[in-house]
Amino acid sequence: MPIKNRFAEMAAEITEWRRDFHEHPELMYDVQRTAGIVAGKLRAFGCDEVVEGIGRTGVVAVINGKANGSGKVIGLRADMDALPIQEQTGVDYASKTPDAMHACGHDGHTAMLLGAAKYLAETRNFDGKVVIIFQPAEEGGAGGRAMCEDGLMERWGIQEVYGMHNWPGQPLGKFAIRPGPFFAATDVFEIEVEGKGGHAAKPHETVDSTVCAAQIISTIQTIASRSADPVDQIVVSVTSIESSSKAFNVIPQRVAMKGTVRTLSPRMRDLAEARLSNICTSVAEAFGATARVNYVRNYPVMVNSEEQTEFAVEVARSVAGECDEAPLVMGGEDFAFMLEERPGAYILVGNGDTAPVHHPEYNFNDEAIPAGCSWWAEIVEQRMPAA
């Protein structure tokens, strides 16, 4: 079954929604305008229930099928928030908000799921119930966790849940997915090295926190190169360094560093945290300094369930004719919290040859809309076929 004709007919309308969201990006949980528009459209579509304020600013809608003999309840999720980036696309619907843009395509995800919701509310050609989920704060705010903590899965009896993300470099409208671990756990750390400051011309009278910090940065690279099994995926990156002095002739008392750890298994996650702490403490002690480490576990590994992934592949093939095996991704995705609550699958839809996500020149490709909408709709109709 190829792309549904209804979505080809609706493409211009869905594109208009998407470009409006793009023009008015909102960050983290502050997505009141977007959520309000989403809720208004869902009510206009005739959804059986629309609830706002789940996970602070999330929106949930329920669409009942023609029958409910199957007793099945499927959740479909899209994210609504933008990124704190100054847009450089030059399109006529570019962001009107300084230092905010939809640089990851959440405007497209929201518009596609709205399109699917409109179709499903019109046709109701399924036996069961679909729960439409619009989530805030995917970009670092753990909005998925907030919605789960608000009782998302229990309140609506969701049995399995599906998500989608556009993917630059993947052929336009083509799908890719993999079972098991897919997106990495995304932990962060802060390190503060305390030495003894002094004049740069008299280093022997100081405990140089900058040299100590440099050695720590070099040594923690051995977590990946020498502590981890070479077949396991792990990334340890220091991304920020700041000293307590800005002068040319002062050895600073303190150096603060920030960074991230990306892993794809609980074992590697535990190893990284333990080794990071040990290295910082030991290296600092060797220099006569001290080091304090604050390690925070953020998004967990996103793990696709085997059965639901196989089904997602079948649906993708019915829409696009094929479905590729996706690579492992060391980026994070807070749909992981929903997949910890319920079995499900997360798929990539091709955005074509475009700038990468999180780039100021990125733009969601509107030509992917019919394929994405069709996949959402077919997930429901094939998983809960009408009698």
Give every strand in the sheet of 254-263, ordered side by side. Answer: 234-243, 254-263, 185-194, 290-299
Claim to verify: residue 318 and residue 284 sit in the same structural domain: no
CATH code for position 191: 3.30.70.360
| pLDDT value of position 1 | 46
317 and 277 assigned to the same domain:
no
Tell me the DSSP string of 291-341: EEEEEEEEE--EEE-HHHHHHHHHHHHHHHS-EEEPPPB-S--THHHHHHH
Sign of the Cα pseudo-torsion (315, 13, 136, 238, in order): positive
User: Do 334 and 183 touch, CB atoms closer than 8 A?
Assistant: no
Same domain for 202 and 228?
Answer: yes
The pLDDT, as a whole number, for residue 189 is 98
Q: Is residue 323 marked as binding?
A: no
Q: 96: exposed, middle or buried (C-beta count within 10 Å: 0-12, 13-18, 19+)?
A: exposed
User: Do 270 and 325 belong together in one domain?
Assistant: no
Element housing 250 (H / E):
strand 250-251
φ, ψ of residue 306 to 5 degrees: the values are -60, -55
Whether residue 104 is annotated as binding a ligand: the answer is: yes
> How far are the Cα atoms of 189, 321, 360 from residue 239, in angstroms, in the given order?
10, 42, 19
Tell me the per-residue pLDDT of 131-162, one tens digit each, with 9 for 90 and over. Answer: 999 999 999 999 999 999 999 999 999 999 99
Q: How many domains does one find in the chain? A: 2
Question: Are the C-beta atoms of residues 349 and 177 closer than 8 Å to each other?
Answer: no
Q: Is the dihedral of CA 272, 277, 282, 287 positive or negative?
A: positive
Q: Are residues 201 and 258 in the same domain?
A: yes
pLDDT tens-digit readout, 346-364: 999 999 999 999 999 999 9
**Which segments of the chain have a pLDDT < 50?**
1
**Residue that is last in its domain, among 299, 332, 362:** 299
CA 79, CA 83: separation in Å to the nearest integer? 12
Which residue range forms the structural domain that includes residue 139?
A: 5-182+301-383
Helices 106-123 & 32-45, crossing angle to 10 degrees? 20
Outline where the chain has alpha helix (H). 5-23, 32-45, 106-123, 143-149, 152-155, 209-220, 222, 266-287, 306-320, 335-341, 369-383
Cα-based distances in Å from 31 to 72, 76, 118, 141, 164: 30, 19, 21, 12, 20
3-state secondary structure 365-377: CHHHHHHHHHHHH
d(CA 375, CA 383): 12
**361 labelled binding-site residue:** no
Same-domain status, 141 and 227: no
With contact defined as beta carbons under 8 Å apart, do 240 and 213 qualify? Answer: no
Nearest to 110 by CA among 53, 171, 42: 42
Q: Specify whether 164 is located in the same domain as 95.
A: yes
Based on the fold, state whether residues 256 and 308 are members of the same structural domain.
no
Question: Is there a single domain that holds both residue 283 and residue 152?
Answer: no
Cβ neighbours of residue 208 closer than 8 Å, sequence gap 6 or more: 195, 251, 287
Calpha distance 251→273 (Å, rounded): 29
Determine phi and psi for 322, rounding to 5 degrees: -160, 165
Domain termination residue (choose one: 299, 322, 352): 299
Q: CATH code at 97?
A: 3.40.630.10
106 labelled as ligand-binding? yes
User: What's the confidence (pLDDT) of residue 6?
Assistant: 87
Alpha-carbon span 271 to 73, nearest angstrom: 38
The reply to whether 319 and 373 lie within a common domain is yes
Among candidate residues 271, 299, 327, the one where a domain is terminated: 299
Q: Does 190 show up as a binding residue in the annotation?
A: no
d(CA 273, CA 346): 27
* Same structural domain, 34 and 114: yes
**N- to C-terminal Cα separation, the chain:** 18
Q: Are residues 73 and 154 in the same domain?
A: yes
* In contact, 256 and 294? CB cutoff 8 Å: no
**Pairing status of strand 73-79 against strand 49-54:** unpaired
Identify the CA nearest to 183 among candidates 163, 205, 211: 163
**Which of the 8 DSSP states describes residue 356?**
P
